[in-house]
Amino acid sequence: MKPLIAANWKCNPTSQKEAKTLFEGIKKRVKNIKNAEVVICPPFVYLSILKGLTLGAQNCYFEEKGAFTGEISALILKNMGIDYVIIGHSERRKYFKETNEEINKKIKRAISAGLKVIFCVGETSQERDEGNKTNIIKNQLKEGLEGISKAETKNITIAYEPIWAIGTGNNCSVDETMTSILFIKQTLNNLYNRAVADKTRVIYGGSVKGENSNSYIKEAGASGLLVGGASLKTEEFVKIVKSSI
């Protein structure tokens, strides 16, 4: 399977003009790359002005439609031609108090709308220091995937994003990433079966840069990358994409 290289722009950039410039710069340099799947996840409002690369949203609501002021549903995204949605990002969990239960509802709704899901899991530094990392990840997976069938898992990519590695420059080591990916696969095997564990892509995110990206794919066994800060720099992001193939 091709590596999935997803750009999570988060709440950036702050104007349409900058968003278009960044997008067009990336597009020009990656559009002929066939051996990697590149997905750009900009803020919602830019989704309709960016054309020519696969797009993802950074969140969606768990109801289909109705009186939910300020929310964007999975169905709205699908009907706009959006392919992917990131669900359960640690920043959503931290700042917007998203629970595993809400994340589960969002994943279900996104899949039923026909979106592909990038489902984020990962531990805080405290949880890691206290030896709770695997329990936390297991629980995020178990509760996040509750009621989702084996067949539906084909629409899900798991993003392992240790929170202590996000935006800190302190990227996770190859060994620790590999161990975490194997643990996620083992958990999928326990929740589903070996085939689901083998086929589900597990990607890595957390201070990925052009200089470290290759080792996650080539050595740690990641099926792709979820890139934050470095995806806002055209050349750096393109370097990451190229290093993955």
Residues 1 and 36: their CA atoms lie apart, in Å, by 9
Q: Give the angle 211-213-217 at the CA atoms, nearest 5°.
A: 145
- Cβ 88 vs Cβ 103: under 8 Å: yes
Q: Which amino acid is at 229?
A: G
CB of 217 vs ligand 13P, minimal distance in Å? 15
Q: Does 167 bind ligand 13P (CB under 6 A)?
A: yes
Which of 100, 180, 200, 207 touches ligand 13P by CB under 6 A?
207
Q: Which residues contact 23 (CB under 8 A, 6 or more apart)?
A: 40, 42, 46, 50, 53
Structure tokens at 1: 């399977």
Interacting span for ligand 13P (CB under 6 A) from 44-52, 92-100, 149-157, 228-236: 228-236
To the nearest whole angstrom, how small is the minimum distance from the Cβ of residue 151 to ligand 13P? 27
Q: How far is the CB of 221 from ligand 13P (least distance, A)?
A: 19
- Nearest distance from residue 59's CB to ligand 13P, in Å? 12
Active site members: 89, 161
Closest contact distance (angstroms) between CB of 31 and ligand 13P is 23
178, 226, 240, 241: which one binds ligand 13P (CB under 6 A):
226
40 binds ligand 13P (CB under 6 A): no
Positions 65 through 124 that interact with ligand 13P (CB under 6 A): 89
Instruction: Reduce the DSSP state of residue 97 to 3 states and report it.
Output: coil
> By CB under 6 A, is residue 178 in contact with ligand 13P?
no
Of 212, 199, 184, the residue nearest 154 (C-alpha): 199
The span from the CA of 231 to the CA of 123, in Å, is: 22
Cβ closest to ligand 13P, residue 102 vs residue 224: 224
Q: How many residues bind ligand 13P (CB under 6 A)?
A: 14
Within 13 Å of residue 99, how many CA atoms lie on the same side as its CB?
Answer: 2
Residue 151 φ/ψ, nearest 5 degrees:
-60, -35
The residue from 220, 227, 238, 241 that contacts ligand 13P (CB under 6 A) is: 227
Binding status of residue 229 toward ligand 13P by CB under 6 A:
yes
Residue 10 or 189: the one with the smaller Cβ distance to ligand 13P is 10
By beta-carbon proximity to ligand 13P, the closer residue of 75 and 86 is 86
How far is the C-alpha of 119 from the C-alpha of 59, rounded, in Å? 10
Exposed / middle / buried, residue 71 (Cβ in 10 Å: 0-12, 13-18, 19+): middle
Asked if residue 163 binds ligand 13P (CB under 6 A), the reply is: no
48 vs 57: CA distance, rounded Å: 11
Q: Which chain residues interact with ligand 13P by CB under 6 A?
A: 8, 89, 161, 166-167, 205-208, 226-230
